[in-house]
Homo-oligomer: A and B are copies of this chain.
């Protein structure tokens, strides 16, 4: 894409009301625009990142047998009254139609997916079953904060699984946990698995995937010597104590953001909606249900919190809006040629063909944070080609024009 056609422009200063790094950088670089607290428009660059994150998550959910669907956002109040959520969940947005019907805005989908699954589950042969969606959700937060980390409107992947018994649920939980860890690894994030309370969803213990960042809203205790990690909300241990698991290191405390979670919902929702199946002995049973969430928009925010420096964002390759940022300093035909060549080779490239100073182009490239920067100028051509530099490296080097595509592919 030619940068001269991109309708967004970078901003030198962040809006004063944005206090987190992710909101500041994403706004300045033109990835998002705040409509109101907790609600952002995803601009062309931001939409590209969102799509990349969706694709990573989708691939890993498909790989564990998840079947993708799209459930409505307007939910009949009856479904929420059936589970008790209508009166108990304070972040539930409620809305009344002209015809005096009450609806909830989707903030989790157990109330919809359970009656849906009921239509297709009758026998143990129909189990296990995993359904997921990647869709927008709404929470009536008293205070939206931390940029993309806690919004009133946000995108989530939520998967729901149904199992014939606890053993099959436990088996699938391990598989889902591995899939989650693969997702974080592909996104360049180090996520710790913690135990936490299940919140209003369930009385059982849930597991959260925590990424350490000051922009987070949770506190965790963790051990550097093993994978012990617990949310302080339910921790029996305290900071500085010996790790109860490996006994080798002292527990550290850190601020973290929840990048995903899994709930063992037991039979609650299946009982609420009378979803039963006939087991191998002909007896009627309630399935065991699991719920697995990942905040797509939150992940974008977390990635920026973890991957930036003073000058801007440093996108991991897997989710970068483009792979290459091509800067042409002064008019030169070589840049046009390289741009065409990169496109021909299906390399995603943002081509800065604007009529602005070199300083502005360099500053914008650092702010936007595309992994590879290619500079074409009279100076670079005289030195033998283009200047190539990775966003996370300090020094550039010269690469011959005919070697560029091979190097990047």
Query: Which A positions have Cβ atoms within 8 angstroms of B?
Result: 5-9, 33, 35-36, 39-44, 46-47, 50, 65, 67-76, 90, 93-95, 97-99, 105, 112, 116-117, 119-120, 126, 129, 131, 136, 138, 140, 142, 152-153
Contacts and interface: CB of A to CB of B under 8 A. Distances in A.
A7 B47 contact: no
A300 to B, nearest CB: 12
Contacts of A50: 70
Given A7-B67, A95-B93, A112-B35, A72 B153 contact: yes
Main secondary structure of the interface of A (DSSP, over half): mixed
A89 to B, nearest CB: 12
Nearest to A67: B44
Nearest to A122: B9
A32 B105 CA distance: 20
Contact of A39 (B5, B6, B39, B72): B72
Which 3 interchain pairs have the tightest Cβ spacing? Answer: A42-B70, A39-B72, A95-B95
A136 B126 CA distance: 31
A74 B153 contact: yes
A98 B65 contact: no
Contact of A41 (B46, B70, B76): B70
Contact of A67 (B6, B90, B105): B6
A116 B98 CA distance: 30
Contacts of A131: 7
| Most B C-beta atoms less than 10 A away, residue of A70, A73, A90, A152 | A70
A113 to B, nearest CB: 9
A35 B93 contact: no
Contacts of A99: 142
Contacts of A7: 67, 117, 120, 126, 129, 131
Nearest to A138: B74
A47 B70 contact: yes
Contact of A33 (B33, B74, B97, B119): B119
A6 B126 CA distance: 10
Contacts of A68: 44, 47
Contacts of A44: 67-69
A153 B73 contact: yes
A400 B306 CA distance: 56
Contact of A69 (B9, B41, B105, B126): B41
Contacts of A90: 98
A72 B136 CA distance: 9
A140 B98 contact: yes
A120 B8 contact: yes
B73 A41 contact: no
A97 to B, nearest CB: 5
Contacts of A140: 97-98
A136 B41 contact: no
A72 B137 CA distance: 11
B74 A39 contact: yes
Contacts of A36: 74, 76
Nearest to A121: B7
A223 B18 CA distance: 58
